[in-house]
A and B are shown apart, each in its own frame.
Chain A
Amino acid sequence: MEYFVQLLLGGLTRGSIYALIALGYTMVYGIIELINFAHGEIYMIGAFTALIVSSVLTLYGFNEFAILVLASLIAVIYSASYGFTVEKIAYKPLRSAPRLSPLISAIGMSIFLQNYVLLAQTSDFLPFPALIPEFNFLKNYEHVFSSSELVIVLTTVIVMTILTLLIKFTKIGKAMRATAQDKKMAMLVGINVNRIISVTFIIGSSLAAIGGILIASHIGQINFNIGFIAGIKAFTAAVLGGIGSIPGAVLGGFVLGWTESFATGYVSSDYEDVFAFALLVLILIFRPAGILSVKCEV
Chain B
Amino acid sequence: MLNLSEIKRSLLVSLWFIFLTFPIMVIRVNPIEKIVEWRWGNMLLVGIGSFVISFIWRYFIRQKELGLKKIEMGEKITPLLKKLAIRESKYVKSLFLTLVIAAVLFPFVFSTYQTTIMTTVLMYVVLGLGLNIVVGLAGLLDLGYVAFYAVGAYSYALLNYHFGLGFWTVLPLGAIMGAFFGILLGFPVLRLRGDYLAIVTLGFGEIIRLVLENWNEFSFGPSGIANIPRPSFPGIQFSLQQATVYQYFLTIGLAVFTIFVVNRLQDSRIGRAWIALREDEIACQAMGVDKVRTKLSAFALGATWAGMVGVMFAAKTTFINPASFTFIESALILSIVVLGGMGSVPGVIIGAFILILLPEYLRAFAEYRMLLFGAILVLMMVFRPQGIISNVRRTYELKGIQK
Contacts and interface: CB of A to CB of B under 8 A. Distances in A.
B27 interface: yes
Instruction: Specify which of B202, B203, B207 lies most central, judged by the most chain A CB atoms within 10 Å of its CB.
Output: B203
Contacts of B282: none
B194 interface: yes
Interface in A107-155: 107-122, 126-129
B377 interface: yes
- Do most interface residues of chain B lie in helix, strand or loop, or is the interface mixed? helix
Contacts of A74: 23
Nearest to A29: B195
A288 B31 contact: no
- Do most interface residues of chain A lie in helix, strand or loop, or is the interface mixed? helix
Given A109-B378, A284-B192, A284-B200, A56 B334 contact: no
B9 interface: no
Instruction: Specify which of A53, A78, A236 lies most central, judged by the most chain B CB atoms within 10 Å of its CB.
Output: A78
Nearest to B335: A108
A273 B206 contact: yes
Interface in B195-210: 195-196, 198-200, 202-204, 206-207, 210
Interface in A197-250: 228, 232, 235-236, 239
Contacts of B367: 119
A228 B204 CA distance: 15
Contacts of B204: 277, 281
Given A51-B31, A270-B214, A108 B199 contact: no
Contacts of B42: 120
B371 to A, nearest CB: 4
A191 interface: no
B170 interface: no
A270 B379 CA distance: 38
Nearest to A228: B327
B24 A116 contact: yes
Interface stretch (A7-15, A92-100, A157-165, A259-267): A92-100
Instruction: Specify which of B16, B198, B199 lies most central, judged by the most chain A CB atoms within 10 Å of its CB.
Output: B199
B374 A111 contact: yes
Nearest to B385: A101
Contacts of B16: 85
Interface residues of A, number: 67
B36 interface: yes
B236 to A, nearest CB: 44
Interface string B166-209: 00000000000000000000001101101110111011101100
Contacts of A53: 23
A59 interface: yes
A288 B196 contact: yes
Contacts of A278: 203, 207
A277 B188 CA distance: 14
A59 B34 contact: yes
Interface in A61-120: 74, 78, 81-82, 85, 89-90, 93-94, 97-105, 107-120
Instruction: Specify which of A53, A90, A281 lies most central, judged by the most chain B CB atoms within 10 Å of its CB.
Output: A281
Nearest to A34: B195
Instruction: Specify which of B36, B371, B377, B381 lies most central, judged by the most chain A CB atoms within 10 Å of its CB.
Output: B381
Interface string A265-298: 0000011011001101100110010000000000
Contacts of A101: 381, 385
A103 B194 contact: yes
Instruction: Specify which of A52, A104, A113, A127 lies most central, judged by the most chain B CB atoms within 10 Å of its CB.
Output: A104
Which 5 A-B pairs give the minimum distances between C-beta atoms? A108-B377, A112-B374, A111-B374, A55-B29, A277-B203
18 contacts: A35-B195, A55-B34, A56-B27, A56-B36, A59-B34, A81-B19, A93-B61, A102-B381, A104-B338, A105-B381, A108-B379, A111-B374, A115-B371, A120-B42, A235-B199, A280-B203, A284-B199, A285-B200
Given A56-B27, A97-B385, 6 more contacts: A55-B29, A90-B378, A105-B378, A108-B381, A273-B210, A280-B203
